[in-house]
Amino acid sequence: MENLRIPGPTPCPPEVLQAMTKQMIDHRGSEFVKILNRVTDKLKQVFMTKNDVFVLTGSGTGGMEAAVVNTLSPGDKVLAVSIGSFGDRFASIAKTFGADIIPMNVEWGKAADPDAIRRALQTDGKIKAVLVTHNETSTGVTNDLATISRVVKEFEKLLLVDTISGMSSIKCPVDEWHLDVAISGSQKGWMVPPGLVFVSVSPEAWKAHAIAKMPRAYWDFTQAKRYLERGQTPWTPAVSVVFAMDVALDLMFKEGLANIFARHARVGKAARAGVKSLGLSLFADEKYASDTVTAVTASERLDVRGLRRILREEHKVVLAGGQGKIEEKIFRIGHLGWVTEGDIATVISALKVALPQAGFVRAK
């Protein structure tokens, strides 16, 4: 079996995979109603929210589109805080649907500066919403969302948050931080295959929804809410992935959320220490380094593609490359969901052997 260490899809425990072999049931029948209600209630516990939470069928990006089209109108001014390729994607989706984007592009590897966000909101009183990535998977950086949300709420703006690779693994309390829409996807830290995206919707987001004019059909929150009142989804859901979520959430509560967050903190720390022990450097500002994904800077001589091939073929360790403009400049170790410190030790041992083969010469 491969040691799959990319930031999603992530490995799934056997119980979760087993749940997916269950025969299909009627998605409008009473058994599914019970399962969907149960999964939704459990999700609310992880999101730490009393807000509505919807289980939508689609990938994380679909959830980002849902957040945008359900709360905004064409022409709305939106501050799009981007610290990497997923932040860029969020901005691009909003732009596609006609939002007037005010970009705040932070140097990749760095976290967003809450004071800069405050200045931007002070400068332009017409900004309606702020888009922000909680955990930027492309650079391995976790934003200080607690402080950012405090700033955004000083100005009473709508806060739409991509926590696709954060929620479930890093604490992200939706109510305490007043996140209006928070998004996460099943294939990241939830230990479940791809196919579902979860979104929470605050009362403020519902107010915005009531007047939001961007076109929407599949992702319409009004439909999602109407159907969830009967324990259903508007369209056919990924039934097997819902079965998997039900089991995975039970595993999560058995471990305990606080223990899960602590395990990710330990694993993240082990990954960073391991990488540095090999003479490599972290791409992310270490103060904001993510506990779910570690981005490693490739030195001049290191051939990232070659390194990943050697790791995959000779060590059965699968790591991710970089994305966008830093594709060949970094590689990434995913450590979210079903992961232990032992898994990271295996990755570091494999790297130790593979690095010199890929041209890496340790600096003196």
Ligand X SMILES: *Cc1c(COP(=O)(O)O)cnc(C)c1O
Binding site for ligand X (CB under 6 A): 7-8, 59-61, 86, 133, 135, 137, 162, 164-165, 185
Give the residue at shortest CB distance from ligand X: 60
> CB-wise, 61 or 299, nearer to ligand X?
61
> CB-wise, 32 or 90, nearer to ligand X?
90
> CB-wise, 189 or 274, nearer to ligand X?
189
With CA atoms as reference, report the closest residue to 245 among 303, 195, 208.
Answer: 195
Residue 289 CB, nearest approach to ligand X (Å): 15
Residue 161 CB, nearest approach to ligand X (Å): 10
Between CA 338 and CA 343, with CA 339 as vertex, the angle to 5 degrees is 140
Residue 266 CB, nearest approach to ligand X (Å): 21
On the 0-12 / 13-18 / 19+ scale of CB atoms within 10 A, 156 is exposed
With CA atoms as reference, report the closest residue to 13 among 268, 263, 259, 340.
Answer: 340
Query: Taken in order 154, 159, 165, 167, is the CA torsion positive or negative?
Result: positive
User: What is the SS3 assignment for 39?
Assistant: helix
> CB-wise, 5 or 350, nearer to ligand X?
5
> CB-wise, 133 or 202, nearer to ligand X?
133
Residue 188 CB, nearest approach to ligand X (Å): 6
**Dihedrals φ, ψ of 213, to 5°?**
-115, 5
Computed on alpha carbons and rounded to an integer, the radius of gyration of the chain in Å comes to 20
> CB-wise, 18 or 92, nearer to ligand X?
92
Q: Are 342 and 2 in contact (CB under 8 A)?
A: no
**Dihedrals φ, ψ of 133, to 5°?**
-95, 125
Query: Taken in order 326, 331, 335, 341, is the CA torsion positive or negative?
Result: negative
With CA atoms as reference, report the closest residue to 265 among 341, 174, 165.
Answer: 341
Residue 218 CB, nearest approach to ligand X (Å): 15
φ/ψ region of 195 (left if φ > 0, alpha if ψ in -120 to 50, else beta) reads left
Residue 126 CB, nearest approach to ligand X (Å): 27
Q: Which amino acid, residue 135? A: N
With CA atoms as reference, report the closest residue to 182 among 198, 158, 206.
Answer: 198
Residue 324 CB, nearest approach to ligand X (Å): 13
Residue 77 CB, nearest approach to ligand X (Å): 23
Chain centroid to Cα 173, Å, comes to 14
> CB-wise, 59 or 240, nearer to ligand X?
59
> CB-wise, 61 or 73, nearer to ligand X?
61
